[in-house]
Amino acid sequence: MVQSLQQYLTFFRKLFTNVSGSVDDERTCQCSVYLPDTNFPVQKAEQLEIIAATLMKKFEIELSQVREYSKKIELYQQQILNLTVRVQHMEKSSISYTELDFQLLKVEINDLERLVTQLKFSLVGSNVIVEQIYLEITNLTILVNELESLDKNNILAIRRQIVDLQKRLKECEEGTNKTTVPPYFPSGSCIHRGLLNVSQPYIAKLNWRGFSYKYGSWGRDYSPSDPENEVYWVAPLNTDGRHFEYYRIYSSFDDLLLFKPMYERRITYGEGSGAALYNNYLYYHAYNSRYIVKQDIRKNTMVLRKELLNAAYGNRFSYAGVSWQDIDFAVDESGLWVIYSTENNMGNIVISKLNDTTLDVLNTWQTRQYKPSVSNAFMLCGILYATRPVNTRKEEIFYMYDTSTGQEGSISVIMDKKLDTIQSIDYNPTDQKLYVYNDGYLLRYDVTFQP
């Protein structure tokens, strides 16, 4: 005890050894002593303990929210799966329903499909694609839910399209890093599974009447008995964009490029840009009527004129952006077709297969695609393909109707173009090319098929 006291006194002597003081008027000694900090910072330790406890509490809250979000995601995934099962059951059951034609909604869905196709060629990472496509699907789902109270049956159709779109996205991701050479298919054959893609346009030239003649058609004759025979036609309309009066016939593509026609013909009663050349006969729409005409190009004489029953005319249901094309002729591997609309079908596209000798209608298919909402159409292996503008330099093949099965659907094939408006598209089975009349310019595209 004495030793501890001595140590304590020694400690304080060291503290006060160098302390200076002063004496006041009353002879009292005054001085100031500054004690050092304690060896252990108790207060700081307590503050750190409080901060650590607060952070731990916040962390527990955030972790709880993450767990809650994970449960919600699992729930949503299960709901999507259940919805898919319900839609499949609806398709397989005997329940009948009508899918109403919500045009604006179809535009939204087709825009989403165009985005998926564009991502095929610009894909960098699969996560980016998934995020973009599901964002679009979410937006589309909101729109569908708003319409659901008005039309339950149509919602089933839209949800089937969404499921199909998700499947296409998966196929797009799986095939992103694969490069394959397009397979070859013989000319005039249909052993493929339809249109896959088109090439960049080859600009042949401006039409022979000049830049002011923006409307018209051109292409190559398809003669099943002599498919290698080269005969080309160019038929610009008059500057009113309606009257079909003159056309030229060329014996080769080189002659067409050199403005060396085999002969130039004049007719006085044609209308619109829907003409087509098949087996040395020109088929076109008679002016201001529902009659169709077969013209012998060698003699320039009308062989036959026949009424297309119930066909709308007088610019009633022409293509979007293209006036007076109420009746549009098309040629494919199986022969001659005509694309038009009727009042009974409420302006939707009607497809008829024609007997090219008698112009009799052999068969007719009524689609649910509104004709004035597409910019043009053509036939390929019995399948109708319709286009619409994307912008001033791109067109999209977005719709198809298979006459062999009666099934219609959506596709997305982008076509570059020179100017704003495509006035006509004609397919030729011999060289498997599309011939496009684009604001007076003659464009040609190679076609790639699905194996």
Cα angle 264-269-274, degrees, rounded to a multiple of 5: 80
Q: For residue range 4-35, list pLDDT tens digits in order.
A: 545 555 555 555 455 566 777 777 777 765 55
Q: For residue range 296-343, list pLDDT tens digits in order.
A: 999 999 999 999 999 999 999 999 989 999 999 999 999 999 999 999
- pLDDT at residue 54, as a whole number: 85
> Among 56-60, 99-103, 291-295, where is mean pLDDT lowest?
99-103
Predicted confidence (pLDDT) at residue 1 exceeds the cutoff of 70? no
pLDDT class of 47 with cuts at 50, 70, 90: confident
More confident residue, 219 or 60: 219
- pLDDT at residue 388, as a whole number: 96
Question: Which of 32-41, 46-55, 238-247 is the most confident on average?
Answer: 238-247
- pLDDT at residue 233, as a whole number: 97
R_g over Cα of the chain: 39
| C-alpha span between 170 and 179 (Å, rounded) | 17
Within 10 angstroms of residue 394's Cβ, the number of other Cβ atoms is 12
Going by DSSP bridges, is the β-strand pair 291-296/441-449 parallel, antiparallel, or unpaired?
Answer: unpaired
- pLDDT at residue 116, as a whole number: 53
More confident residue, 175 or 436: 436
Predicted confidence (pLDDT) at residue 425 exceeds the cutoff of 90? yes
pLDDT class of 407 with cuts at 50, 70, 90: very high
Predicted confidence (pLDDT) at residue 153 exceeds the cutoff of 60? no
Listed in sequence order, the residues at least 6 apart from 16 whose beta carbon sits closer than 8 Å to its beta carbon are: 33
> What percent of the chain is modeled with pLDDT above 70?
70
Predicted confidence (pLDDT) at residue 124 exceeds the cutoff of 50? no
Instruction: Give the pLDDT mean for 120-128.
Output: 48
Q: For residue range 60-100, list pLDDT tens digits in order.
A: 887 887 777 677 677 666 766 666 665 565 555 544 444 44
> Among 21-35, 55-69, 136-150, 158-172, where is mean pLDDT lowest?
136-150
- pLDDT at residue 322, as a whole number: 94
- pLDDT at residue 46, as a whole number: 76
| C-alpha span between 368 and 13 (Å, rounded) | 107
Tokens of 383: 């399948």
Please tell me whether the overall predicted TM-score, pTM, comes out greater than 0.85 for this model. Answer: no
- pLDDT at residue 181, as a whole number: 66
More confident residue, 404 or 74: 404
First to last CA, the chain: 104
- pLDDT at residue 95, as a whole number: 43
Predicted confidence (pLDDT) at residue 230 exceeds the cutoff of 60? yes
Residue 277 CA, chain-centre distance (Å), reads 31
- Residue 13, exposed/middle/buried by CB under 10 A (0-12, 13-18, 19+)? exposed
| C-alpha span between 198 and 449 (Å, rounded) | 9
> Among 111-125, 241-255, 383-397, 403-417, where is mean pLDDT lowest?
111-125
Predicted confidence (pLDDT) at residue 151 exceeds the cutoff of 60? no
Q: Over the chain, what is the mean pLDDT?
A: 81
Backbone angles phi, psi at 378, to 5 degrees: -155, 165
Is 416 in contact with 197 (CB distance < 8 Å)? no
More confident residue, 2 or 312: 312
- pLDDT at residue 57, as a whole number: 84
pLDDT class of 270 with cuts at 50, 70, 90: very high
- pLDDT at residue 155, as a whole number: 59
| C-alpha span between 141 and 163 (Å, rounded) | 12
Predicted confidence (pLDDT) at residue 364 exceeds the cutoff of 80? yes
Q: How many residues does the chain have?
A: 451
| C-alpha span between 351 and 339 (Å, rounded) | 5
Instruction: Give the pLDDT mean for 144-166.
Output: 62
